[in-house]
Amino acid sequence: MDRHVRKVCILGAGSWGTALATLVDRASEVVLWARTPELAEAINRFHENRRYLPGIRLESKIRATLSLEEALSHAECVVFAVPSGAMREVTRLAAPLLGNAHLLVSAAKGLEEGTGLRMSQVMEEVLGGPDQRIAAISGPNLALEVARGVPTASVAAACSDATARACQALWMGPSFRVYTSDDVVGVELAGAMKNVIAIGAGVCEGLGFGDNSRAAFMTRGLAEITRLGVALGARPTTFLGLAGVGDLIATGGSRLSRNYRVGIGLGQGKCLDEILKELGQVAEGVPTTRAICLLARLTHVEMPISEALHSILFEGASVYDTLRALMMRPAKPEV
């Protein structure tokens, strides 16, 4: 997609979808599909997403609509920036209207709860099989910093090199450097599973532990999600790149990260429902914890950190006692 495109459609007008819209230079028109009339009206009236990205001015070519048909009409690129739990339904609704699209991008960092499927797998199931138009983008990309033009990098992954390069070209710019990869499995799994480890890093913060604790937790968490990723067909080096350790560093240490804030709340003794209500947005690491524990059991991969977080999130386990039990597991070599 080195050429100028007429229209890009972004399904999802949350913080990440809106941030991605600010990066698109190679299109005459960028349309955000919003789920509420209040949000769409406010974006169009004030040229700002005051609910999710207050203070970020949106160019006049960026507009919002409630109509899926209007959003997708004549769109050459369609970006799915919806929560993982909505991906199947949104893809189903969009499928009959994707005829003009040359590029379909998953920008969601999660796994489908109940199946453990990656987002591109969900899209392909709905669309009827492998689709060479699908790419996934992932990296250390906190939405507010991206929208502010703070320099960062990301990875565009696709089975087709042409598709990966088209995704790269769409967003590559002075503040957003994009690399390509053919390891779709690794990029999607790394982007999703690091959210679980970020929750644990936040727990360390909420308990008042220091940087040593958080660094150790993140490092061992990375080893754990890499084991599962490799068992599912990913390359281990992908987890050492932008979609893996890069995203984990950003997400596991920033209060801009919803998953990190979930962990902080848990460490402070708050219940999950209370934390999510305060957030007012989806924290993908919560449902993904269930999904990766399911995958771990199916593949017989040992994931004690993820299982510990599952017990804290969903089984009412004591945060302190659970972390202490992790520390007292039998001694073993690092590798």
The string of pLDDT tens digits covering residues 295-307 is 999 999 999 999 9
Bridge partner list, 7: 29
Sign of CA dihedral 293, 258, 256, 61: positive
Mind listing the pLDDT tens digit for each residue in 166-210? 999 999 999 999 999 999 999 999 999 999 999 999 999 999 999
Report how far residue 286's alpha carbon sits from residue 199's, in angstroms, rounded to the nearest whole number.
Answer: 8
Answer whether 138's CB lies under 8 Å from 243's CB: yes
Q: Which of 3-17, 109-123, 150-164, 252-266 has the lowest mean pLDDT?
A: 3-17
Q: In the predicted model, is pLDDT for residue 335 greater than 90?
A: no
Residues with catalytic annotation?
194
DSSP H helices, 12-67, are 15-23, 37-46
Q: What is the 3-state secondary structure (H, E, C) of 216-267?
A: HHHHHHHHHHHHHHHHCCCCHHHHHCHHHHHHHHHHCCCCCCHHHHHHHHHH
Query: What CATH architecture applies to the domain 185-327?
Result: Orthogonal Bundle (1.10)
Burial of 53 (0-12, 13-18, 19+ CB in 10 A): buried
Answer whether 142's CB lies under 8 Å from 118's CB: no
Average pLDDT, integer, range 29-39: 97
Superfamily of domain 5-182: NAD(P)-binding Rossmann-like Domain (3.40.50.720)
Token pair for 88: 């199947």
Report how far residue 255's alpha carbon sits from residue 264's, in angstroms, rounded to the nearest whole number.
Answer: 9
DSSP H helices, 83-210, are 87-94, 119-127, 143-147, 161-171, 184-206
The pLDDT score that the predictor gives to residue 209 is 96
Domain positions in the chain are 5-182, 185-327
Confidence of residue 248 (pLDDT cuts 50, 70, 90): very high
Confidence of residue 5 (pLDDT cuts 50, 70, 90): confident
Average pLDDT, integer, range 35-48: 97
Q: In the predicted model, is pLDDT for residue 1 greater than 80?
A: no
Of all helices (H) and strands (E), which one includes residue 322?
Answer: helix 319-327
Report how far residue 41's alpha carbon sits from residue 127's, in angstroms, rounded to the nearest whole number.
Answer: 31
How far apart, in Å, are the Cα atoms of 24 and each of 1, 29, 61, 136, 312? 12, 9, 10, 16, 40
Q: Do the domains 185-327 and 5-182 match in fold?
A: no
Confidence of residue 3 (pLDDT cuts 50, 70, 90): low
CA nearest neighbour of 251 among 157, 176, 326, 145: 145
How far apart, in Å, are the Cα atoms of 334 and each of 150, 219, 221, 224? 36, 11, 12, 11
Sign of CA dihedral 256, 54, 172, 161: positive
